[in-house]
Structure 1
Amino acid sequence: MSEQGRWAGRNPAKDIIRHTIWRELETAGVNVGPAWSMIPNFSGADVAAWHLAQTDAWKSARTVKTNPDHAQTPIRIRALYEDKVVYTPVPYLTKDFPYLRLDPAKLTVAEISFELAATPQGFMTHGERLEFEEVEPLDFCVVGSVAVSRAGGRTGKGAGFADLETAIFRELGIVTATTPMATSIHSIQLVPDDAIVIESHDSPLDFVATERELITTGSIATRPMGVDWSKVRADQFETIPFLTNLRDRMLSRRASA
């Protein structure tokens, strides 16, 4: 595998930590499937999901959002079995609709197994298609990560999808400043606090679940409450089919507020 991420070059400092983690995962042999340019799946992802599910915030949540990656499939399965409605974005946001909903009651009536529905292929087939504005208020949010600090700093794979989605949800009021933000990773993906580059659009994490432990970060860092459209990259408008239309709707909403 080439030691260049798919989105390399946008932030060299972040590239360095991503490449280090991807390499360390492969060296240790704990990645499940490809690691490079991915939110890596990892050995122990099911145990990390269990750790996350022990939090009071998870237990009280009725609606859960996760990233669409394989590493978080155990989280989606657990949520569905616990009768939570699961929302997940279209992988890489390449369709003309951004989001999908998995309702455990509807899946049960349709005789679709939760294990199938929770996979990336399964939710694309069996999930209900939604616009951002159709997502109901979220009680718990899970994002994918490549590198994470115990202080709640996070680096993703470099595409900028998670931060953009979170900013959109916050501006729409679907996610608030107090909505718990979490991730699940292998312990190899934990890095020193000063190894994470924090930018203005980055959202801090409240919980980090690994195969070894649950970390409550206690982060009080500022959370961006809306989209700075001037900082959305030109290639994102080119590759995300619905983004221009969504921007126009949201700017119109701001103007009329």
Structure 2
Amino acid sequence: MNTIDQAKQHVRDQVWRRLVESGAAPPDSYGKIPGFAGTAATAELLSQTSEWQQATTVKANPDWAQLPVRVRALADGKLLYMAVPRMASLKPFFLLDPRTLTLPPEEAADKRAARDHARRVGVEDMTPIDLVICGSVAVNRSGARIGKGAGYSDIEVALLIEAGLVTEKTVIVAPVHQLQVVEEDIPETPHDFSVDLIVTPDEVIRCPERRRPSGILWDDLTAEKIAGIPVLAARVGR
């Protein structure tokens, strides 16, 4: 683990401990995108923003913490792409179209229901995305974020940027608990992206500085990581 990775892990450990000790997240939140208290209120506050109201297509992570946001997207008639957990498919996104759903939004937005009922799609089958909802462990007001350390969100966003589906018009959102908004600097590397909007149960924070990679930074990926993500392994094998 290099110095930047160690610094990120220190921030994660602090935030997980703060959430658990305050009762704002379950005791088993360590090592995860935490399912925090107030997720429904966060989704409601996000739905009141102009960014949400103007969006027609949303991409979200599959974590439990963002389930209310995914439900709200479908209930509001938005096309929803949900990442396949760990990108474990050549077609690494589930397509949830509210016009053709056979389940209510509360069921369809669950990752288990998506696995059983939703169609899997690759980037070549997708339309441009207005909002990206990213699970985060910690964020700061400049828009720097840290996930749980697996790197899947970074790869998903980079893949979508390369495909022209995440553009300068796309807004990246981190729905989090207030305790996940830290005041200290968060170290960043070239493959990290910043968020444009942080939404907590009580506050909307618009971040001033946008930072995004131009696409997949292959030199930052280990051979093991590439081999474990079918869509990347296929590209290397061409």
TM-score, reference length from structure 2: 0.94
CA distance in 2, matches of 1:61, 1:216: 17
- After superposition, residues 1-257 of structure 1 pair within 5 angstroms as 11-32=5-26, 34-107=28-101, 110=102, 112-194=103-185, 196-219=186-209, 221-247=210-236
CA distance in 2, matches of 1:93, 1:143: 14
| Cα shift at 1:231 | 1.3
| Cα shift at 1:167 | 0.8
| Cα shift at 1:213 | 0.9
Task: Tell me the number of residue pairs that the alignment of Structure 1 and Structure 2 aligns.
Answer: 238
| Cα shift at 1:44 | 0.1
Is the Cα–Cα contact under 8 Å of residues 66 and 86 in structure 1 kept in the other structure? yes
CA distance in 2, matches of 1:84, 1:159: 28
| Cα shift at 1:145 | 0.3
Is the Cα–Cα contact under 8 Å of residues 20 and 27 in structure 2 kept in the other structure? no
Distance 1:24 1:97, change over 3 A: same
CA distance in 2, matches of 1:151, 1:33: 29
CA distance in 1, matches of 2:4, 2:234: 25
| Cα shift at 1:242 | 3.1
The residue identity in structure 2 corresponding to 1:170 is I
CA RMSD of aligned residues (A): 1.9
Write the deviation string for residues 197-223 of structure 1: whole angstroms up to 9, x where unpaired: 11111111111011111111122x432
Is the Cα–Cα contact under 8 Å of residues 59 and 132 in structure 2 kept in the other structure? yes
Distance 1:43 1:181, change over 3 A: same
| Cα shift at 1:132 | 2.2
How high is the sequence identity, in percent, across the aligned residues? Answer: 37
TM-score, reference length from structure 1: 0.87
CA distance in 1, matches of 2:27, 2:65: 10
Is the Cα–Cα contact under 8 Å of residues 58 and 132 in structure 2 kept in the other structure? yes
Distance 1:50 1:33, change over 3 A: farther
| Cα shift at 1:239 | 2.1
The residue identity in structure 2 corresponding to 1:176 is T
The residue identity in structure 1 corresponding to 2:64 is H
What's 1:252 paired with?
none
CA distance in 2, matches of 1:186, 1:229: 33
Unaligned runs of 5+ residues in structure 1 are 1-6, 250-257
CA distance in 1, matches of 2:78, 2:236: 30
Distance 1:248 1:123, change over 3 A: same
Give the secondary structure class of the aligned counterpart of 1:123.
helix
